[in-house]
Amino acid sequence: IVFQSFHLIPNMTALENVAVPLELANVRDAFEIARRELTAVGLGERLSHYPGQLSGGEQQRVAIARALAPSPKLLIADEPTGNLDTETGRQIADLLFAKQAERGMTLVLVTHDPSLAARCSRQVAMRSGEIVSGAAPVKATLAEAVPA
């Protein structure tokens, strides 16, 4: 999951933040994989920087690298380009769709950006918590739909 608020560990470098889920899963070469993913998001020169030393857009790219590093089958990204300038946002979107195709990964994007949504094979629009297009209308909230 790529959270809109990043959830980086403040006392760990960018490289360590990306390597953490790999190390917890006992993945060999965790730091090499982390280095490769950070380079892919354009942060190859910022590996040793802590989150507090990075801009919001750089932190967002660390979070994206961390989510991509374990090669998930499903990646959920909440506004993955929201803190990025137009060109960097385009590059990151290109990267996400390339990784999706390369890895056969399901990519679920939450976005307000119509051009980003248009790149997806399916769009579901919501307004005030209700699905308004792309699927049968749903009136129940998650809490109402889940048995107590």
Q: Cα–Cα distance between 95 and 104 in angstroms, integer?
A: 14
Q: Cα–Cα distance between 129 and 104 in angstroms, integer?
A: 30
Q: pTM of the prediction?
A: 0.86
Closest CA relative to residue 96, chosen from 109, 111, 84: 109
Look at residue 135 in the predicted model and tell me its pLDDT: 64
Q: Cα–Cα distance between 53 and 117 in angstroms, integer?
A: 31
Structure tokens at 139: 């009136």
Look at residue 146 in the predicted model and tell me its pLDDT: 47
Q: Running along the chain, 148 residues long, what does each successive block of 10 average in pLDDT?
A: 92 98 96 98 98 96 97 94 93 96 94 90 87 64 45
Calculate the CA dihedral of residues 67, 72, 77, 82 and round it to 10 degrees: 40
Look at residue 126 in the predicted model and tell me its pLDDT: 85
DSSP, residue by residue, 83-127: TS-HHHHHHHHHHHHHHHHHHT-EEEEE-S-HHHHHTSS---EEE
CATH code of 14-145, in short, is 3.40.50.300
At 96-118, the pLDDT tens digits run: 999 999 999 999 999 989 899 99
* For the chain, domain boundaries: 14-145
Look at residue 19 in the predicted model and tell me its pLDDT: 98
